Amino acid sequence: MAEEQETPAVRLLHGCPLDETLGAFVVHCDRDSYLELCRSLRSDGYAMPVGVTGVDYLTHPGRTVPQGVDAERFEVVVELCSLVARKRIRVRCQVPESDPRIPSLFDVWPGTEAHERETYDLFGITFDGHPDMSRILMPDDWEGHPLRKDYSTGEIQVQFKEARR
């Protein structure tokens, strides 16, 4: 009879899978638990959002996520810092390609306003409840979202001064 290997218990933080990657704590969630998780982390003392960004996993569909987390094409990543406890934590929230939207953290941390606009502008992930969900880097008439993996890179010829041919 083959030996059964015991699977390690999944550690949870506020009901969401927690793991440690390269010495950093990472909590994973879906968008239904995202806002409540972030509110709980704020109550835990994570008062400073360091950044909010997006990731497009179009070319990496087989990435590893904890048991109980369904990998989606997009992910919103929030880096938080507790100045009192001198700790950091990262939130990774899965966002489906079919409906790339997630609640805004503006009411939890007003400092996330520009980060969410940038993520919207470059990845096309909409933050519901954001006070000004408009482009911040690209012109208003720009079509598409340049950091999506399916965005065409185009070709622009660069002519260097006095370059040999």
Domain range holding 45?
11-128
d(CA 153, CA 94): 25
Whether residue 146 is contained in a domain is answered as no
Whether residue 83 is contained in a domain is answered as yes
Name which of 50, 63, 130 is nearest 91 in CA terms. 50
Tokens of 153: 């890179």
Whether residue 34 is contained in a domain is answered as yes
The pLDDT of 109-121, averaged and rounded, is 97
pLDDT at 3: 54
d(CA 65, CA 122): 24
pTM: 0.87
Name which of 32, 101, 4, 3 is nearest 15 in CA terms. 32
The pLDDT of 138-152, averaged and rounded, is 91
Kindly report the three-state secondary structure assignment for every residue of 34-62: HHHHHHHHHHCCCCEEEEEEEEECCCCCC
Whether residue 135 is contained in a domain is answered as no
Determine the straight-line distance between the first and last CA of the chain, rounded to whole angstroms. Answer: 71
The pLDDT of 118-143, averaged and rounded, is 96
Instruction: Please count the structural domains in the chain.
Output: 1
Whether residue 104 is contained in a domain is answered as yes
Kindly report the CATH number assigned to the domain that includes residue 45.
3.30.460.80
Whether residue 157 is contained in a domain is answered as no
Whether residue 35 is contained in a domain is answered as yes
Instruction: Decide if 121 contacts 136 (C-beta within 8 A).
Output: yes
Summarised one tens digit per residue, pLDDT across range 43-94 is 999 999 999 999 999 999 888 889 889 999 999 999 999 999 999 999 999 9
pLDDT at 21: 84
pLDDT at 11: 93
The pLDDT of 17-29, averaged and rounded, is 92
Give the containing element (helix H, strand E) for 93: strand 87-95
Whether residue 74 is contained in a domain is answered as yes
Other Cβ atoms closer than 10 A to 71: 14
